[in-house]
Chain A
Amino acid sequence: MLKFVARRLLLLVPILFGLSVLLFVWLRALPGGPAQALLGERATADSVARIEALYGLNEPWYVQYWKFVSSAIQLDFGNSARTNRPVTEEMARTFPATFELAIAALIFAVGIGIPLGYYAAKKYGTWLDNVSVSGSLLGVAVPVFFLAYILKYVFSVQLGWFPTQGRQDPRIDADHPTGLYVLDGLITGNLEASWDAIMHLVLPAIALGAIPLAIIVRITRASVLDVVHEDYVRTAEAKGLWERTITRRHVLRNALLPVVTVIGLQAGLLFSGAILTETVFAFDGVGRFIAEAISNRDYAVLQGFILVIAAMYVVVNLLVDVSYGLIDPRVRVR
């Protein structure tokens, strides 16, 4: 088990190395550069050269890469060209925000997706089944950006049920020891802040969770439909067990195995989905920060953030594989 985890973590080294080279080359192949972006239209050849010298951008790319790698190993990703603050500081601010949003989106997607998929399979061929299947098709097909705008327009702007943007009402004076605002409110005993943070999360979480929800519904439904025809479910029926027991112990425990894999994959993808959602809801997280960094050619931010996200993706997948081993005795890793 430990060996398995260590082996997988070791895999991170070549993955991150390859990714960092690609990123480096890709960023520098983008038209324009940080100096251009900073100076805007008034950029002259002179001023661009000055800025480039300041950030060491005039050196050959392999020299720049070497400098980047040697400091990145010490978890120093340089300073943001836009905010002029250390990239690690920006991470400490934005990652908890997106992490909280991703958790909320997952709770939404899993909490609704598994029961809905299960009942769709149970009511196979009925209207509930048809609605959830076509609904989940729609969920995958509607662009996140569009969905986010619609949600915001209808439920925030028109109906006023939810705040339109941000993570916390600025009038609320709250401490944020962890950066996870809902948790912070609970820790500091400021329930109003917690509730406010939740209200700020609802719409972005729905927008971000829509695609995972649709996929989870479909996978759960298909998987349950497979499992209910398995011989061991018939055995359970032959024992006269209560339907409740059969569902939980014999159907769901098996049917959820593929769903766990899908949840893991989707969890890793939430960070990229967050770029659009956070932009629409002006949610101060990783996604929005990256989006701004791209338009500003903020090399340091992009390099640091994307590498950390990639590392997290690998770790999340590792967690999924390990948990898979815990729930399926047949693949228990040695």
Chain B
Amino acid sequence: MTNSEPLLDVRDLSVTFTRKGGPSVRAVDGVSFTVRPGETVGLVGESGSGKSVTSLAVMGLLPRRGVQVGGQVAFDDDDLLTLPRDRMRDIRGRDIAMVFQDPMSSLNPVVPIGIQVTEVLERHQDLKGDTARAAAEDLLSRVGIPDPARRLKEYPHQLSGGMRQRALIAMALACRPRLLIADEPTTALDVTIQAQIIELLKELVQDTGASLVMITHDLGVVAGLCDTVHVMYSGRIVESAGRRELFAQPRHPYTGGLLASVPRLDAPRGAPLHPIPGSPTDVLRWSRGCAFAPRCPNRIEPCTDGPPPLESIGGRSLRCLNPLTETEEVATR
């Protein structure tokens, strides 16, 4: 981690889905974080915590209707949220790229892989014809796809899931973006492939110097990859810390629960896992208190009086009135 100016500065981002004839849903609620050049940031949380919506808001890819977005997303000197759509199109794919969760459905089934790679180069780098094809071949071999010349002519259904995700990574990195957002890029893949893809991302990011926002619900992925981690719950960041500090000493009971539920290689065989009790749908509205309170082992009376503030303590941010202490954290293991 360097101390330079942040590349991406998300300030107080909130996203509300307004449905006709239904209650509106605040999927992201006052989220702030920064990403420095070359930094790898983890965005962690259970399903529905607003990770994808956050990344889509940064990319300007939220649906245009039925969505209210507030806050700022500063990138370079621009606020991405108010940028004209054509300017945003110039930035997407060139400066900020994204890899999505499901490689099976993220490639166009009726267009050859080659065209899906070269179209980014044509769009942003003015490469054409043979030059573009050569560059695409080069990209495919860099992401570890053997026989790239043949693969370029093939269609997505002729590639395995892992190969498709590699192809998608190649497309994302084609224009050497300064920021790559990966939204659970391994969730849809076999366990053995998962590690390979993470390793590949790590290498590529190191080689190109790009920053990476890694979205995952798997703290195991974060452990081997991220410099900084933000833990999200029900649309808000509940704890932000450096990776070392977070793993050494989780302070938010939710973070503690996530850590305790990760299978540990050094644990004795048959040692019980500790999933967080309750389900992510069992939440309190933030306006009425801590959303995690209904599932929280550390809940105290004031937790349900109002929203706990995000406070900085010892180099980290924490949104909790009764955080874990060192002894408690050990006890959950």
Contacts and interface: CB of A to CB of B under 8 A. Distances in A.
Interface in A222-248: 230-232, 234-242, 245
B80 interface: no
B123 interface: yes
Given A231-B102, A329-B157, A241 B119 contact: yes
Interface in B180-222: none
Contacts of A257: 110
A241 B123 contact: yes
A230 B93 CA distance: 18
Interface in B156-190: 157, 168, 171-172
A231 B105 contact: yes
Contacts of A230: 105
Nearest to A229: B63
B105 A232 contact: yes
Nearest to A125: B65
Interface string A181-206: 00000000000000000000000000
Contacts of A232: 105-109
A39 to B, nearest CB: 61
Contact of B61 (A234, A250, A253, A328): A234
Nearest to B103: A231
B136 interface: no
B59 interface: yes
Nearest to B94: A240
B17 interface: no
Given A230-B105, A231-B102, A232-B105, A242 B110 contact: no
B110 A238 contact: no
A28 interface: no
A235 B157 contact: no
Nearest to A243: B89
A253 B112 CA distance: 12
A103 interface: no
Nearest to B61: A237
Given A237-B61, A240-B89, A231 B106 contact: yes
Given A235-B168, A238-B92, A240-B123, A329 B109 contact: yes
Given A242-B123, A254-B108, A330 B157 contact: yes
B93 A241 contact: yes
Contact of A242 (B89, B115, B155): B89
B155 A236 contact: no
Contacts of A242: 89, 123
A67 interface: no
Interface in B258-283: none
Given A235-B168, A240-B91, A240-B92, A245 B119 contact: yes
B120 interface: yes
B97 A238 contact: yes
Nearest to B85: A243
A249 B92 contact: no
Contacts of B105: 230-232
B94 A329 contact: no
A230 B109 CA distance: 11
Contacts of B94: 240
Contact of B120 (A239, A249, A250): A239
Contacts of A239: 92-93, 97, 119-120, 123, 171
Interface of A: 230-232, 234-242, 245, 249-250, 253-254, 257, 327-330
20 contacts: A231-B105, A232-B106, A237-B92, A238-B98, A239-B93, A239-B119, A239-B123, A240-B91, A240-B123, A240-B124, A242-B89, A242-B123, A249-B111, A250-B108, A250-B111, A253-B108, A257-B110, A327-B110, A330-B109, A330-B110
Interface of B: 59, 61, 88-94, 97-98, 100, 102, 105-111, 115, 119-120, 123-124, 155, 157, 168, 171-172
